[in-house]
Amino acid sequence: MTTALNEGDSRQTAVPTGIAASPLLAPWAESPSTVRSYLSLIRELAVTSFKLKYAGSVLGYIWSLIKPLMLFGMMYLIFAAFLLKGRTSSAENFPVELLVAIVLWTFFADATTTALASIAGNGDMIRKAYFPRWILVVASTMSAAMTLIVNAVLIFVLGLLFHWYQVGWQSLLLIPLLLELYVLSLGIGMLLAALYVYYRDLGHIWEILLQLLFYLSAIIFPFSLLSPQLQGLAAMNPVAQIIEDARRAVVSSAIPWSTDLLGRRLVVPLVLVIGALGVGIWSFQVLSKRFGERL
């Protein structure tokens, strides 16, 4: 402030004029809590990827419904109509069982594969901006969950019209079952996303493993087709346990609960689910330190 003309500057700091008057630069009255800002970022990323997934395609969201329906149609033709014809006790319910299983399976496959690429596919964001990296994994699984919810609601309403389901109090169990499925997908997704940054072969490996798991998860055949020992073994697979219990909850009371099959060994799928989340979080924590350099 050596010259008289500089008085203009000192006035500027007192009453904002010019650029400082822009509402853009006004300080925020309050800053949101960490949890709230993470939640809003997850929501924004999930909604964006949901929107972008079908942007530019004519049928848009409908595709995410057509894909599981196509899978259902094929599996139904091959297994229910030809191979298993007359061999199951609950044959008339099987198409609905298959449909429920395929909708849940599609979510699991969708969530884990998008989670796998969620870090490596966002290299630009990771290299140029800082935010907690796990948010990308959660957002990608949430976007898959949004597809699941829309699909499930559509199929559920359709099924109610045609009396496909046996809805009762037991159907409320769907909520913890879906939660279990989400936790499992998130845990596996975290592990895959972190490892995929370092080992790109994982993309192919997971594709193969998913196919294997598809046949191990009693999606295309009812549990009742297996011998009792095998049923007990197969139900330890959390994906199979979730799908089978979901079928019991909404489709048919003829299907046994997994507790009936597993007894006290019910802890096995539950421990696997919690374990997957634990291993996922731990490995992500360790490996995420060098994401910035590896991408």
Partner 1 sequence: MSKRFRIPLDQAGTLQYRFSHPLSSARYRDLLAVNDVSFSVRPGEFIGIAGPNGCGKSTLLKMLSRIYAPDRGRISVRGRVSPFLELGVGFKPELTARENIFLGGSILGLTRKQLASRVHAVLEFAELVDFADHKLKNYSSGMTVRLAFAVAMLADADILLLDEVLAVGDARFQQKCFDVFGHYKRTNRTIVLVTHDLGTLELYCDRVLLMQGGRVVADGKPSDVISRYRRIVGAMSDGADTDPGRLSTALTGRRWGSRDVEITSVRLLDRQGQPHQSFMTGAPLTVAVDYVSNNLDGEFACAIAFKRADGAYLAGPNSKVVPESVPPVKVGFQGTIFFRIPSVTLLRASYTLSVGLYDDHLNHAFDVVQDVLEFQVNDDRGRQGMVDLGGTYGHTFTARPLEQRSVNKAKDQSTLA
Distance CA 187, CA 137 (A): 10
> Is residue 45 near partner 1 by the rule CB under 8 A?
yes
Decide: is 124 part of the binding site for partner 1 (CB under 8 A): yes
Residue 24 beta carbon to partner 1: minimum distance, rounded to whole angstroms: 4
293 part of the interface to partner 1, by CB under 8 A: yes
Residue holding tokens 């700091």? Answer: 13
* Cβ-based neighbour number of residue 25 at 10 Å: 9
Residue 292: count other Cβ atoms within 10 Å of its Cβ. Answer: 13
**Pick 92 or 293: Cβ nearer partner 1:** 293
Torsion angle in degrees (nearest 10) through CA of 72, 74, 80, 84: -130
Min separation Cβ 37 and partner 1, Å:
4
Token output for 100: 């429920």
Cβ at position 51, least distance to partner 1 in Å: 8
* Closer by beta carbon to partner 1, 233 or else 295: 295
Asked whether the beta carbons of 98 and 76 are under 8 A apart, the reply is yes
**Cα–chain center distance at 43:** 14
- Residue among 48 and 89 whose Cβ is closer to partner 1: 48
Q: Of the listed pieces 52-60, 63-71, 77-85, 183-191, which binds partner 1 according to CB under 8 A?
A: 52-60
Under the binding rule (CB under 8 A), the answer on residue 18 touching partner 1 is yes
The owner of tokens 């509402």 is: 23
CB of 195 to partner 1, least distance (A): 11
- How many residues appear in the chain? 295
**Distance, CA of 53 to CA of 65 (rounded, Å):** 13
5 binding partner 1? (CB under 8 A): yes
Binding site for partner 1 (CB under 8 A): 2-3, 5-6, 8-9, 12-13, 18-20, 22-25, 27-28, 31-32, 34, 36-37, 40-41, 43-45, 48, 51-52, 55-56, 124-131, 198-201, 289-290, 292-293
